[in-house]
Amino acid sequence: MSDLFTDLKQKLHNKDIKIVLPEASDERVVEAASKLSEDKLVTPVLIGDEAEVKQKAGDLGVQVDQCEIINPASYDRFDEMVQAFVERRKGKATEEDARKILQDENYFGTMLVYMNEAHGLVSGAAHSTADTVRPALQIIKTKPGVKKTSGVFIMVRDEEKYVFADCAINIAPNNEDLAEIAVESAETANLFNIDPRVAMLSFSTKGSAKSEETEKVEQAIEMAKEKNSELVIDGEFQFDAAFVPSVAQKKAPDSPIQGDANTFIFPSLEAGNIGYKIAQRLGNFDAVGPILQGLNQPVNDLSRGCSVDDVYKLSMITAAQSLE
């Protein structure tokens, strides 16, 4: 785990990246912001009343002098932000609506990212996933050619690093969704110095069973290759055929992946969520994430049970995503 974040720290050195942390009323967020600024990894942008945020920091015995603190009630570009929001929502919000909506720290913080006043946002310590993701989908939106965002976990154990997706967002992805997830997950793998070798998972290996589910995966592989012809990707694989060389030799001898996959695309959220938690709890892997991918600018969601360290690390990841 330490190697993973050592690499990220090197990427972030002297990059002057600003990450919005909207939940400045949360003690964990204030402590993480202090540590991030002291370590000079990113400049945290805290949303709230400056006096109240500094009082909370003082009570916690930490410093936020190197953080930016922005109060929506006194923000000097608020009128400009309102107009930008109305234009972005294309008739779905009036100016009056916008002024109310932008009092919400997640919407306000997301607009700071959209207006290039910051490079990314991390929220969720005190909000639901929907409260974090909804403003991102409405304002930042997905990248050209990507219809849906998806969520990955980086699974880390000692020197081992793997990408698992989608384990957070899409309940029943279709073939096009799976292709997008595969391509985006390969890009995320590169972010963590993982040379992506993508395995599309199923209950079948190379046609050992036939069903709508396996055909969906087969189609997704071809679509992913069309999106990125250089991508090393194959399937459909049972997990052991993607991960164990001796099994791959028997079940998929002609595959470019011979038990050496490191980026695993699950056929459904159900499978992905179960899979990463089994690896985490039985395999003693650390699960870093979920990391959202596919957005024009990075926004990531914390668990409401997160620790100070979780906020710190996800802020680093978000900053690194902004460099891609």
For residues 50 and 57, give the distance between their C-alpha atoms in angstroms, rounded to a whole number.
11
For 8-17, 46-55, 102-111, which range has the lowest pLDDT when averaged over its residues? 8-17
pLDDT score for 305: 84
DSSP 322: T
For residue 45, is pLDDT > 70? yes
- Per-residue pLDDT, 3: 77
Tokens standing for 13? 């050195």
The pLDDT of residue 13: 83
Q: How confident is the model at residue 281 (pLDDT cuts 50, 70, 90)?
A: very high
pLDDT digits (tens, 9 = 90+) for 261-277: 999 999 999 999 999 99
- For the stretch 291-311, pLDDT in tens is 999 999 999 998 888 899 999
In sequence order, the 6+-apart residues with CB closer than 8 A to the CB of 32 are: 21, 44, 308, 309, 311, 312, 315
Q: List residues bridging with 45 in a β-sheet.
A: 20, 68
- Arithmetic mean of pLDDT, 246-251: 96
- Poorest-pLDDT segment among 28-37, 178-187, 199-208, 299-308: 299-308
- Mean pLDDT score, 236-259: 96
Express as a percent the part of the chain with pLDDT over 70.
Answer: 99
3-state class (DSSP) for residue 211: coil
Residue 227: name the closest of 270, 179, 261, 271 by CA: 179
In this predicted structure, what is the pLDDT of residue 112? 97
In a 10 Å sphere around its CB, with 0-12 CB exposed, 13-18 middle and 19+ buried, how is residue 61 labelled?
exposed
Q: What is the mean pLDDT of residues 193-215?
A: 94
233: phi then psi, degrees, rounded to nearest 5: -145, 145
Average pLDDT (73-83) is: 95
The answer to whether 180 and 290 are in contact (CB under 8 A) is no
Tell me: pLDDT of 10 over 90.
no
pLDDT at residue 2 in the model: 62
Max distance between CA atoms of the chain, in angstroms, equals: 66
* Pick from 1-10, 35-44, 106-115: least confident: 1-10
Q: What's the pLDDT band for 1 if we cut at 50, 70, 90?
A: low
Predicted local confidence at residue 201, as pLDDT: 97
Tokens of 250: 């028997």
Alpha carbon distances (Å) from 103 to 107, 114, 304: 8, 16, 21
User: With 60 as the cut, is the pLDDT of residue 190 above it?
Assistant: yes
pLDDT mean across residues, the chain: 93
Distance CA(247)–CA(63), nearest Å, equals 54
pLDDT band at 14 (very low <50, low <70, confident <90, very high): confident
Taking a C-beta distance cutoff of 8 angstroms, is the pair 98, 139 a contact? Answer: no
The alpha carbon of 206 is separated from its chain's Cα centroid by a whole number of angstroms, namely 30
Quickly state the pLDDT bin for 245 (edges 50, 70, 90). very high
